[in-house]
A and B are shown apart, each in its own frame.
Chain A
């Protein structure tokens, strides 16, 4: 009967060779065993799994004499200890992981990412403002020309510098029905017309058309690259979210602006808004102060045309 040697790479293999079991004489049980062995060949894996689940190396290890020193024995004991420590630790970690909601973890991660990005954006903007003021002071020192009229005019126009002057303010608010049902998640809420980004865009472009020189919405200056758009249910001016009531202020000729923005001039616009229960109020202002735009325009594609 052939016998299988295990652990042929071990140096104790020569010692193992002498310890195989001799074939028994043909008895009834032996014949049955043989038949069973033949059956096993086709289901080797299942048989190995169910009948020989123990690693054969364990029984092999008992055949050779242990010749290790006490230090080695303690080292291996320590190793076993640490392995079991790791298994216990990993097991608890898995159980803990399964009991926590992965979505909340991801949400926290996203929140922290957004916060970090916002912080970076703000710090970069601060840096830009600081560098700009440094530049201004340095150019003032070098050139002696404290105010470059062209640059100053450009900055006023594109919203880089604070401006003040007379103008008008238009205030709009969502209809009362919308604010009442804002808390409840009613399906009726969808039917109520509220002020959208398009309404604000229309007001802004009509104000530019009427000759406004600077416009801000709820205190956020509308610069050359400032967009008024919707993100979800909120309206963004640039990157700042604003809520009803909306206050659009514009610096320019007060009389012209007021006449051009009056309900008699803008019948279509006011008609649709009034139908929805939105009643814009236009009023003159003696002095409006507007801050500069938060960001600076980025030019990547537009080049000076010679």
Chain B
């Protein structure tokens, strides 16, 4: 419940406050959000499977975001930033899709 309220409040704040993010973070923000979405959907799925644990969620969220950002950072330093971010997006995208389909099966029982 806290997660849903937090998400909605975040979107509302983002729309009304229009915060400025530092230029340094800008290239990494999309990948961070995708990693965060993956963690979020994993948590949602575990919630439906009745195995949700906020401790695990926090750990998986932080590790996801930090790993994705570091990978892209490393890729940028090596000159393969866009390729590495594609790799991250593909892996996280597959996970997001399979998690969403699992959630869908829970909701629609089909």
> Is A bound to B?
yes
Whole-angstrom distance between the alpha carbons of A247 and B7 in the complex? 66
Of the candidates B3, B6, B60, B91, the one having the most CB atoms from chain A within 10 angstroms of its own CB is: B6
**Contact: A94 with B40, CB < 8 Å?**
no
Q: List 27 A-B contacts (CB under 8 A).
A: A54-B42, A57-B56, A57-B60, A58-B46, A58-B53, A59-B51, A62-B50, A83-B36, A83-B57, A84-B4, A84-B5, A84-B40, A85-B9, A86-B10, A86-B36, A87-B7, A87-B36, A87-B37, A88-B10, A89-B11, A89-B13, A90-B21, A91-B33, A92-B13, A93-B14, A97-B26, A97-B29
Whole-angstrom distance between the alpha carbons of A82 and B4 in the complex? 11
CB neighbours (8 Å) of A55 from chain B are 42, 46, 56, 60
**Contact: A84 with B6, CB < 8 Å?**
yes
Min Cβ gap B9→A in Å is: 6
Whole-angstrom distance between the alpha carbons of A86 and B26 in the complex? 15
**Contact: B58 with A54, CB < 8 Å?**
no
Binding site for A on B (CB under 8 A): 2-15, 18-19, 21, 26, 29-30, 32-33, 36-37, 40, 42-43, 45-46, 49-61, 91, 94-95, 98-99, 102
Contact of B6 among A62, A66, A80 (CB under 8 A): A80
Min Cβ gap A93→B in Å is: 6
CB neighbours (8 Å) of A90 from chain B are 10, 14, 21, 29, 32-33, 36
Known A-B contacts A87-B40, A90-B32; the reply to A57 vs B59 at CB < 8 A is yes
Residue A50 interfacial (CB < 8 Å): yes
Whole-angstrom distance between the alpha carbons of A83 and B26 in the complex? 19
CB neighbours (8 Å) of B18 from chain A are 96
Whole-angstrom distance between the alpha carbons of A86 and B105 in the complex? 28
Whole-angstrom distance between the alpha carbons of A55 and B3 in the complex? 18
Interface class of chain B by DSSP: helix
**Contact: A92 with B14, CB < 8 Å?**
yes
**Contact: A84 with B15, CB < 8 Å?**
no
Per CB-CB distance, the 8 closest pairs between chain A and chain B, nearest first, are: A88-B10, A92-B14, A84-B6, A61-B53, A58-B46, A81-B6, A53-B98, A81-B2
Min Cβ gap A9→B in Å is: 12
Residue A76 interfacial (CB < 8 Å): yes
